[in-house]
Amino acid sequence: MNVLLLNGSPHAQGNTYLALDEIAKTLRGNGIGAEIVQLGIKPVRGCIACGQCHARGLGRCAFDDDTCNRILEKLHDADGFVVGSPVYYGQPNGALLAVLQRICYAGSAIVKGKPAAAVAVCRRGGATAAFQTLQMPFQMLHMPLATSQYWNIVYGRAPGDAAFDAEGMQTMRALARNMARLLRGQAAVPPQPLDEPWAGTHFVRDDLR
């Protein structure tokens, strides 16, 4: 079994990557393969509602000049899907949304029923709105959501800051363990307690009190 993780940030090694990498490492530690795919910075198309993907039975987007269909090809062989995005004005990255909408519509038969999760990464606010937006297509495609101990949110401003969000990273690890349970058909089994103490964090640095 394997999970495809889509990094929707234009920064290949930024905070969104760190959050997804924490998930990937935990998945591998639980015997599940994991691959992180970078959306990149090349232009992507938005859906124009042409309907050709379904009318012509393509099973892929009619536009084949960006990364959308390359991601769909990888999703065909993936058992689970995680999408991560930075937060821009309380929303996911627009380029990521354009690709995700085409993936979920043109490739609905490919992704339908596969366990999924969304991750939002922000400096301070807007993460819950972005997180909800990312999850909504999954709920229309019978895709079981891998939950965690909190909403799947990680905080960080400068590249690398996310590594210091102790609770955020712990949430990523709990998410990964729950994804592994879903993939093994153990969704009805109560999750085990965290194998690490809860790492509650907040915005205020203790050394500035």
Confidence tier at 193 by pLDDT (50, 70, 90): low
Tell me which residue range forms the domain holding 98: 2-208
Q: Which positions ≥6 away from 114 have C-beta within 8 Å? A: 75, 78, 79, 80, 81, 143
The CA distance from 73 to 58, in Å, is 12
What's the pTM value of the predicted model, to 2 decimals? Answer: 0.93
Written as six digits, the tokens of 176 are: 């990964």
Q: Is the pLDDT of residue 16 over 60?
A: yes
| Residue 164 neighbours by CB distance under 10 Å | 12
- State how far the alpha carbon of 90 is from the alpha carbons of 18, 23, 24, in Å: 20, 23, 26
Q: Is the pLDDT of residue 189 over 90?
A: no
**Least trusted range by pLDDT, from 63-77, 122-136, 187-201:** 187-201
How many domains is the chain partitioned into structurally? 1
Model pLDDT for residues 160-184, shown as the tens digit of each residue? 999 999 999 999 999 999 999 999 9
The CA distance from 179 to 181, in Å, is 5
In CATH, what number is assigned to the domain containing residue 187?
Answer: 3.40.50.360
Mean pLDDT along residues 182-193: 74
